[in-house]
Amino acid sequence: MFRLKEANKKMLKKIFSEPLLHFIFLSLVIFVAYGFLNPRQDNQQVIVVSEGRVAQISNSFRERWKRDPFPKELDGAIQAYAVNEMFIREAKALSLDADDQVIDQRLRKKMNYLLEDLADANRPTENALKQFYDNNAEKYRLPARYSFQQVLLSADREEPALSKMVLIQKKRIEQGFDPQGDTSMLPRDLTRVSTDQLARRFGGVFVDALADIVTQQWSGPVASAFGQHFVFIIEKESSEIQKFEAVKTAVLSDWQYDNNKNFQKDYEARLLQRYTIVVQGADSVSSDEDSNADKETAKKPDTVPTAMTENISP
């Protein structure tokens, strides 16, 4: 008997954890809420403003004016809603909503919002988040960082003057002196700057060269778009993947984004199974294009005209 109860508990737990059940439940809630706010009206000449709609109108007034509406103000807001509903019904009766791109786009957005709400009902377990983190670990990698000094020999110098200055600075380094360079807008001292930031400032070639430079001594020259640099690396911080606990909030956000995207793809796939797409005139359009292409091909000569070949030099 005890084992049977445990089996039943496990089965119920599994059922209630199914995303499909969440989907059905949330759909039912939305359907009921919509029916509460928008009761069915058989007589199109009667505007029924439900209690739920009145409460919604009152809440909108309160949010806008930061106070409760007076009875006369609430009556005016209700009448404005009813008049708006009348205009909408008259417009629909005239089919003014047909083939309206603005309305179509609005309806598509509402469907997207609905799908997002339904997808958000599916909450990931801790194991699911860790699995997502493991599968996308590179996304949470911190870039390498460098702390260093740099001296620039500007590319404004013409050769052989630039090469001569490079040799002079190398000799200074061999003699135990710091190299000297040109004045520039580039900082001489940089502390814990990421490779991404360095690439934006100095360029990718410069950053790639830093990986092979020994720390605690002057090295160079290292080329960039600005010229030739002599570099003294104080410290290197290797690139590393952040631990799960440190990026858990970001992982959850990324998981939700992927979940919403996959949920919408699945919904679109189900729609494609339910609907049949008929493209009228597709065969005729295709045959016309093929015919035109054949005509264009027939017009093209097999050889280049003499008038063109005379102006082509070998």
Residues 60-105: pLDDT tens digits? 999 999 999 999 999 999 999 999 999 999 998 888 888 889 999 9
pLDDT at 311: 36
pLDDT at 68: 95
Domains of the chain: 2-120 (no CATH), 121-143+242-298 (no CATH), 144-238 (3.10.50.40)
pLDDT at 61: 95
pLDDT at 192: 95
Please indicate whether residue 298 or residue 244 has the higher confidence score (pLDDT).
244
3-state secondary structure 113-166: HHHHHHHHCCCCCHHHHHHHHHHCHHHHEECCEEEEEEEEEECCCCCCHHHHHH
Q: Are 44 and 50 in contact (CB under 8 A)?
A: no
The answer on pLDDT for 287 being more than 80 is no
Q: State how far the Cα of 311 lies from the Cα of 304, in Å rounded to an integer.
A: 12
* Residue 222 neighbours by CB distance under 10 Å: 21
pLDDT tens string 119-162: 888 889 999 999 999 999 999 999 999 999 999 999 888 888 88
pLDDT at 302: 47
Q: Are 220 and 167 in contact (CB under 8 A)?
A: no
pLDDT tens string 190-227: 999 999 999 999 999 999 999 999 999 999 899 999 99
The answer on pLDDT for 301 being more than 50 is no
